[in-house]
Structure 1
């Protein structure tokens, strides 16, 4: 049994930022528990290694969501990072904040301190923007944000085609406005992945007041009455305990944090009774309100045979040359995020702000890249993603075993408005693909094999192929209504000494990739926690 001031469960994007900021005070002792490994691997450090991480389970929990009734009863693959850095260790490294209105909506819902203007200083504090400081960007922060080092010609053609179709060029999706088409910036440093662990954790691992334990699966939060006082965790099947003098903080993500709350007796009694778990506190919203960006990928044949096709002789030759280029210059395909260029567009003129995101991949792919036969085809893949879905899912327990995967029900496209938006986004994509710069490169459709000729055929294609794009949020939502799990200080309602700090607290999904906002949640939470610590100390002195 060891005692710490704070115990953080989960070393993902939020947890790493939180551990760094809390341990800056040498008087504060922090324990950070991570179920995955150290992640000290060239597969993680090399950006294109994300292909391996998606396919294999070494650094990936490889969850599968329930068969989706709205998606032809297909199970949905839900990769999550299994290493220090969490999913920032295996993600596509795109640096996107979302839209001002996303955060202003949180504040309008009664979450004080969470408007865009109040969060912008945290975004700036967290980053080192290689382009330099500006109204929207900071320098000197832990997280390196850089231009991509692998700009494939066909990715540039996507941008040209977009402008030809009337989409404005946008040099900075995180600037004054998000709408437009352009190159994504990346969380890379010197051509290598710059995960939350690389940014926030690795530089401070030698702090004597920070203890990091990997391979540790947290089994439960320990309570005395309604106060969290510690945790129990498993390492190679052996049970260990740690005590928190001040707080236990859950940073396990949208799947892990609600799972641990339920395992600890926090949640709806009916869900707990089903697994013989004694209830500590009734909280109906635990595991509810799950949101995910529903996404569908279309693939076209590249008739110039210049796109990436790793299993073709030409592709193997280019990959060999790029390997040398990467070793010497940290440039080329091995530095690729896969989604090098993209766009944020409005599905119709009636929509006030972008509700569709495109990710352009200069290669043919299917099933999260796991269908390896597509590496024999020269092609281009374009993701169409609904940014603000109305559909809601849930996370629940499969058993009382903390090592068992949770039950994930994404429930995507259960709200018909999401289907309407996705269809509109695909139709708008047709305009871009038909523009001269892409029309001269792309010939026929690979997925689907035939162009959908009617609205019904388009919907059938979507139900057969729609998937998620790895941005789950909302299962411990912040707010004051009966389904809220935490307040605007991220304290769990009705309990003491317990907070949730990760993407699960988002009341609504932001309009873009969730990695950067997750780090900002950790940044802001650290300030709130340290401020509460100072206030408590002053009160004790008084």
Structure 2
């Protein structure tokens, strides 16, 4: 080997040692934090035995996986495998003021793993115990009664499961003045009735729940593990599952799942098998909209031709895996304010009757925090305006295909030079119901650490465009309402002058109100060119296509999927409440099935 080759090898080994060392330090700190919560059953994957046995293997410790595993542990031995680390001790997760930082973090240990859809829209998937509840804006609202009926769920058990979730981590928000003005502006704009504070999904304007407490501290789905049976649950962190194991059982035509293979950060493989006990024991995927279809395909369950393309042996030819994936498009408008605006994440929502949901966010996560002074404000600006900062770097001043890393870098540089008065204000955003436009997920490779290729086909269905147009028109009415007057300039001329003063000679890379909101043709283009994600993607393992009504994977045995990949439409205005509810709901359903089957076996 050449001297250069030896040097490259030494550098590679040094970097690997540094990364593993950093990971170990992080795990030690996280483990100390976990012990404060009595999480003695949480361990690092490198400490896992080479072979182990459980009644249930839950893959994915996210928004559905945590309540599911906690519930199943009430009567069975459960293993929960999470590819990320603990959320505790990480201020980017725990603090409301650092909401944007977690999503902008691109380090290997980040709780958010970035991906860019084939449409060109920057997005993120969770990589942390607690899943998306560790990254989102905290808004909590139930699904509508119609959604529950269409899903075929038992409404009494659904309500009981929601209440179980809400007792653990849902709070009534303190509503600052900007959110109050948004609420009054929505009512003035005709988004009625006034529903006050409610967790129900009903037409009109309301204040919803939040998973941030009054101190701005986030509570996540990982908190449900406090309710787990500490001797029946084991959690391995930094455990990346590479495939589900299947075998053919004598007398059964369908392949049977009997375990999984996962790797720890050192690359060592571990095998986990279901304990002997017949069909009662199961592998349950709760790896999310991207993870569950990806893992099914890596395990040989998916479209045969696609699997063969990647050299994967087909266990069951299932064309529906990865199909029908959708992401609710979000379009936002920045409303500059002549006065300082306090931090607020989503607290108020307008549920329109034409299929658009209108929400708002304001304050320091979009610029220099209003409490920052002196030397500290430059560091704050660097944190909040990274290349792909979630609500600024990817704002659609450029069409999705033009949002290159270089273009985003230039936008971030411009923002860093702007006077902080330019960021006084907030965003009013709209998300459309559904959506009706759908896409698909495909494997890029057989590497389970890599993101699959995701195509959402934003606004392919013209009905989605129409809903967006009406949503933008509603936002314009809110921004021009009397109730919102304190936080807006009197007219476009005054607003433009204020923005120019703050921006100087630089352009202002943020969406402002369209100049001609009554003309729908420019607004249609505006919707397409300013599209972003609101991180509510779903589908890929639809009920009735890939899984049955009991969430069992059709065509195989011993395997279920319980997460947002089973949804055909995103529930309510924000899905986290229903995803957490589903984890609890299906945990209770599975335990009931187990007890009934055990009783039947004892009779015979």
TM-score (norm. length: structure 1): 0.83
Shift of 1:387: 1.7
Cα offsets for 1:199-227 (capped at 9, x unmatched): x11454x7121110010110000011200
Cα offsets for 1:143-175 (capped at 9, x unmatched): 3211114x3322211112222233332213423
Aligned: 1:362 with 2:407: no
Shift of 1:359: 1.5
Shift of 1:118: 5.2
Once residues 121 and 83 of structure 2 are traced to their aligned partners in structure 1, the CA distance between those partners, rounded to angstroms, is 23
CA contact (8 A) 2:466 2:524 kept: no
Once residues 231 and 421 of structure 1 are traced to their aligned partners in structure 2, the CA distance between those partners, rounded to angstroms, is 43
Aligned: 1:388 with 2:434: yes
Query: Where does residue 301 of structure 1 map in the other structure?
Result: 336
Query: Where does residue 537 of structure 1 map in the other structure?
Result: 598
Pairwise mapping of residues 52-451 of structure 1 onto structure 2 (< 5 A)? 52-57=101-106, 58-66=110-118, 68=119, 75-107=120-152, 114=153, 116=155, 119-128=158-167, 143-149=168-174, 151-167=175-191, 168-175=193-200, 178-189=202-213, 191=215, 192-198=217-223, 200-204=224-228, 207-225=230-248, 226-236=255-265, 237-245=267-275, 246-303=281-338, 305-308=339-342, 333=343, 336=344, 338-347=345-354, 355-363=355-363, 368-371=390-393, 373=415, 376-443=422-489, 444=495, 447-448=511-512, 450-451=514-515
Once residues 116 and 556 of structure 2 are traced to their aligned partners in structure 1, the CA distance between those partners, rounded to angstroms, is 31
Shift of 1:277: 0.3
How many pairs does the alignment contain? 470
**Structure 2: which 5+ runs fail to align?**
1-50, 249-254, 276-280, 368-387, 394-411, 490-494, 497-509
**Structure 1: which 5+ runs fail to align?**
69-74, 108-113, 129-142, 309-332, 348-354
TM-score (norm. length: structure 2): 0.74
Q: Of residues 19, 23, 34 in structure 1, which corresponds to 2:69?
A: 19
Once residues 415 and 163 of structure 1 are traced to their aligned partners in structure 2, the CA distance between those partners, rounded to angstroms, is 29
CA contact (8 A) 1:161 1:433 kept: yes
Once residues 524 and 100 of structure 1 are traced to their aligned partners in structure 2, the CA distance between those partners, rounded to angstroms, is 16
Higher helix share: 2
Per the alignment, do residues 116 and 76 of structure 1 end up closer, same or farther by CA in structure 2, a change over 3 Å counting? farther
CA contact (8 A) 1:96 1:516 kept: yes
Quote the RMSD (CA, aligned, Å): 2.0
Once residues 208 and 581 of structure 2 are traced to their aligned partners in structure 1, the CA distance between those partners, rounded to angstroms, is 19
Once residues 51 and 213 of structure 1 are traced to their aligned partners in structure 2, the CA distance between those partners, rounded to angstroms, is 27
Cα offsets for 1:176-198 (capped at 9, x unmatched): x6122233310234532111002
Aligned: 1:525 with 2:586: yes
Q: Of residues 517, 523, 534 in structure 2, which corresponds to 1:469?
A: 534
SS of equivalent residue, structure 2 residue 316? coil
Once residues 154 and 197 of structure 1 are traced to their aligned partners in structure 2, the CA distance between those partners, rounded to angstroms, is 31
Shift of 1:441: 2.6
Pairwise mapping of residues 493-504 of structure 1 onto structure 2 (< 5 A)? 493-504=554-565
Cα offsets for 1:380-426 (capped at 9, x unmatched): 21111102211111111111111111111111111111001110111
Shift of 1:450: 4.9
Once residues 48 and 195 of structure 1 are traced to their aligned partners in structure 2, the CA distance between those partners, rounded to angstroms, is 16
SS of equivalent residue, structure 2 residue 305? helix
Once residues 535 and 156 of structure 1 are traced to their aligned partners in structure 2, the CA distance between those partners, rounded to angstroms, is 51
Cα offsets for 1:437-463 (capped at 9, x unmatched): 213431237624752453221122212
Q: Which has the larger radius of gyration?
A: 2
Which stretch of the first structure deviates more once superposed, 367-376 or 268-277?
367-376
Query: Where does residue 48 of structure 2 map in the other structure?
Result: none
Once residues 466 and 472 of structure 1 are traced to their aligned partners in structure 2, the CA distance between those partners, rounded to angstroms, is 14
CA contact (8 A) 2:542 2:567 kept: yes
